[in-house]
Chain A
């Protein structure tokens, strides 16, 4: 069944069973104030949606109903709880840790965490082992994507987590230093091959289901936001510098035998900032259909990138909630506003402004 899910802001999850002609809203929680950033649909109706602030939802019925990720949380390390002192603080800490643990441990097996490391290689490590140690002090990190690492994708789910959380940043620090950014978005090639595209033109390619990665940095170092498979060893990527085809062929590639018995390529596409009703779309359609859809999405994405413009406003630079600023913006005192000022200075080059020319120019500048 060519069913498709799309997720977006306000935790909205949309579903379509007819290639996008009609959509059904299966989940919506505007009060949570967090966007979902990716959705993944596996075999047997299993689906996972992830998003900002550790949002994590699972579905067992093909996306008709969703449940928030729930797990038995590992107790917070005693030392840390004791150091916090105040009971309220400890409880808060425990709550945060519970939230993180629940998102980290995807059933039924421990997930892998893809962390780009030195020299562009990536290691898949179990996040479960790290949870108690590293993530305890994190608040709520965001998940940017779900990506299957191997054929039985759900069992080897990777949560590519990047965020403002300090520990996560540490994990990615080396890669960031070298490349000015870390891998952020991904597009799968097939079940054994995975490509992750990201900031600073980073393309990470794995031929073994995410255990090792090869770095193919684009020379223009322009950020990439989405990628789609475009044939053997090529992906089509869009980003800050528009769209282009990127060859994934590497020198090492020749020595590696192709993974045998690979399944039908799983194709998906992402509409990011392309005027789609949802922020991230995950399309699973028939082979021929998906190409058309992909092309359309790429086109939309290209248009969206070209249509970028600066939206500047003086008031956006103000701390509008500040007491003084509230007074400043009060309509009753609008008469006295004057911070957004333009000064035009006319200067006579010979140092004497008392000339008819200068006065004519000043009069013109005044009256415009």
Chain B
């Protein structure tokens, strides 16, 4: 998505979120979700442990493991050097993130300056 700092997007899937643990032969570290992750029961347990070790409960992951965050930083200028329009960012978030993800047992909540601007620009919802 344009206007987002890709290198600083944070969620348990991104490689900038790591865990660190002391083991018998030294220190072990790794991505919370390993690169070869497949959604098997064993891997789920491993990820749950990694989340605990990474100390991100309450920050990127809900206290009760009911949900998780994606944190992204909106840039001042996009790749072409043009100022980023927060309203456009908000619309893209709606199209690319909410649509297609919401439903099937998952709720999507979004906040941030860009989102607020988009909501204001779109006006009140039509009842």
Contacts and interface: CB of A to CB of B under 8 A. Distances in A.
A352 B67 CA distance: 7
Contacts of B54: none
Given A313-B86, A344-B110, A346-B70, A364 B101 contact: yes
A314 to B, nearest CB: 5
A253 interface: no
A317 B64 contact: no
A29 interface: no
A354 B68 CA distance: 10
Contact of A368 (B33, B71, B86, B96): B96
B80 interface: no
Contacts of B71: 341-344
B1 interface: yes
B70 A352 contact: no
B27 interface: no
B13 interface: yes
Contacts of A360: 39
Given A341-B72, A342-B111, A368-B1, A347 B106 contact: yes
Contacts of B23: none
Interface in B71-127: 71-76, 83, 85-87, 89, 93, 96-97, 100-101, 104-115, 117, 120-121
Contacts of B72: 341-344
A358 B112 contact: no
Contacts of B68: 345-346, 353, 358, 362
Interface in A287-316: 310, 312-315
B62 interface: yes
Contact of B109 (A317, A338, A344, A361): A344
Contact of B108 (A341, A344, A368): A344
A346 B86 contact: no
A342 B1 CA distance: 13
Given A364-B100, A365-B97, A340 B73 contact: yes
A-B pairs, 4 with minimum CB distance: A342-B112, A347-B67, A356-B39, A312-B117
Interface of A: 310, 312-315, 317, 337-338, 340-368
7 contacts: A341-B73, A341-B74, A342-B93, A346-B101, A346-B107, A352-B66, A354-B65
